[in-house]
């Protein structure tokens, strides 16, 4: 049986420049490459789910401009259901200006455009009711995210990116919260540099005593893999060593693969382990969606290869 994974989130066009050196303030630097690629955290996560054979329905907004049309067609060609992607009149589509340094590190500036118009009424209750999992990020209005957390019948996975402070009490009942280290620090106000800091901060989010009650926190750690923290246990998955070309959208690759594998297997640990490998493989290619392998192109885990 194929489960519907509803992703409510942003759709952007990524304007990506690659460079050996980041310019400092007031400085001009000659860069070496440019590409216009599909992006947006919501769209990226939906594409990763679809590439891995999942049934991804994306709810969001594009503007009535060529970027919006191209984004919609791109999503459809990846197998994402776009029936709930609304074209907003007299509005520009979301864009992200991205600078990728040699070695893979990136800096991203997002202009929300139509993403800032995503309204609770865009997501009808009937759509929420037929989802087996609801996946969201923070590139659409926070009121919409909170409304959907309150109305969803299915488990909700929140990827609190980009980082912002949230009223943690309003996240009560979340099934999965998946921040990176920086987002975890912003959410908790605690240090998250060392591994024991990460565990302490994640524990704060799952601890019943402060009434938050988030089921599972998974902290993505880049080249250090990911850390799962529940009330009962902690588990760390190491990432394979890879040569990073571009880390853009690696977090979204993790979320998409985690969501799809969880729906396939019901096994959180298997989903986290597979998502770490999927995100690691994605950073070896350029772009966000452009770097997400299909199930058949995804390198098997060493113990299942051959």
Q: Under the rule (CB under 6 A), what is the footprint of ligand RIB?
A: 10, 12, 14, 39-41, 44, 96, 108, 110, 139, 248-249, 251-252, 288
Q: Which two tokens stand for residue 57?
A: 């329905």
Supply the minimum distance, in Å, between the C-beta of residue 10 and ligand RIB. Answer: 6
The rounded distance, in Å, linking the Cα atoms of 246 and 264 is: 28
Based on CB atoms, which residue is closest to ligand RIB, 97 or 294?
97
Instruction: Give whole-number Cα distances, 271 to 60, 65, 177, 306, in Å.
Output: 26, 37, 14, 21
Please choose, from the candidates 224, 227, 221, 173, the residue with its C-alpha nearest in 3D space to the C-alpha of residue 200: 227
Based on CB atoms, which residue is closest to ligand RIB, 100 or 134?
100
Which residues on neighbouring strands pair with residue 157, listed in sequence order?
135, 176
Based on CB atoms, which residue is closest to ligand RIB, 181 or 248?
248
Give yes or no for a contact between 269 and 231, defined as CB atoms under 8 angstroms apart.
Answer: no
Give yes or no for a contact between 123 and 86, defined as CB atoms under 8 angstroms apart.
Answer: no
The rounded distance, in Å, linking the Cα atoms of 160 and 14 is: 20
State the residue number with the nearest CB to ligand RIB: 39
The rounded distance, in Å, linking the Cα atoms of 255 and 23 is: 31
Supply the minimum distance, in Å, between the C-beta of residue 211 and ligand RIB. Answer: 31
Supply the minimum distance, in Å, between the C-beta of residue 212 and ligand RIB. Answer: 25
Please choose, from the candidates 16, 11, 55, the residue with its C-alpha nearest in 3D space to the C-alpha of residue 256: 55
Based on CB atoms, which residue is closest to ligand RIB, 100 or 206?
100
Based on CB atoms, which residue is closest to ligand RIB, 72 or 204?
72
Catalytic residue of the set 224, 246, 252, 269: 252
64 is catalytic: no
Tell me phi and psi for residue 145, to 5 degrees.
Answer: -60, -45
Based on CB atoms, which residue is closest to ligand RIB, 34 or 209?
34
The rounded distance, in Å, linking the Cα atoms of 74 and 66 is: 12
Tell me phi and psi for residue 14, to 5 degrees.
Answer: -90, 125
Tell me phi and psi for residue 144, to 5 degrees.
Answer: -70, -45
Supply the minimum distance, in Å, between the C-beta of residue 14 and ligand RIB. Answer: 5
Supply the minimum distance, in Å, between the C-beta of residue 204 and ligand RIB. Answer: 25
Q: Which two tokens stand for residue 197?
A: 């800091």
Supply the minimum distance, in Å, between the C-beta of residue 178 and ligand RIB. Answer: 13
Task: Just list the catalytic residues.
Answer: 252
């Amino acid at each position: 049986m194929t489960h519907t994974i509803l992703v409510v989130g942003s759709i952007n066009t990524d304007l990506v420049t690659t460079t050996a050196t980041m310019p400092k303030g007031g400085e001009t630097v000659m860069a070496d490459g440019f590409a216009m690629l599909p992006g947006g955290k919501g769209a990226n996560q939906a594409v990763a789910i679809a590439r891995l054979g999942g049934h991804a329905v994306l709810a969001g907004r594009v503007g009535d401009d060529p970027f919006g049309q191209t984004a919609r067609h791109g999503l459809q060609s990846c197998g994402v259901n776009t029936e709930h992607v609304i074209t907003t009149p007299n509005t520009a589509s979301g864009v992200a200006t991205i600078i990728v340094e040699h070695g893979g590190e990136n800096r991203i500036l997002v202009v929300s455009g139509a993403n800032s118009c995503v309204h609770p009424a865009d997501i009808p209750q009937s759509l929420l009711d037929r989802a087996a999992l609801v996946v969201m990020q923070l590139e659409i209005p926070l009121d919409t995210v909170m409304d959907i957390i309150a109305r969803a019948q299915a488990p909700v996975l929140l990827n609190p990116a980009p980082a912002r402070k949230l009223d943690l009490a309003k996240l009560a009942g979340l099934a999965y919260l998946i921040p990176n280290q920086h987002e975890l620090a912003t959410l908790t106000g605690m240090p998250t540099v060392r591994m024991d800091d990460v565990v302490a901060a994640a524990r704060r989010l799952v601890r019943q005593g402060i009434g938050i009650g988030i089921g599972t926190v998974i902290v993505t750690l880049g080249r250090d893999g990911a850390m799962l923290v529940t009330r009962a246990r902690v588990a760390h998955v190491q990432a394979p060593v890879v040569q990073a070309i571009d880390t853009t959208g690696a977090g979204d690759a993790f979320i998409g693969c985690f969501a799809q594998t969880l729906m396939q297997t019901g096994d959180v640990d298997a989903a986290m382990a597979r998502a770490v490998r999927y995100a690691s493989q994605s950073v070896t290619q350029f772009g966000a969606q452009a770097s997400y392998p299909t199930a058949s192109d995804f390198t098997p885990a060493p113990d299942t290869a051959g």
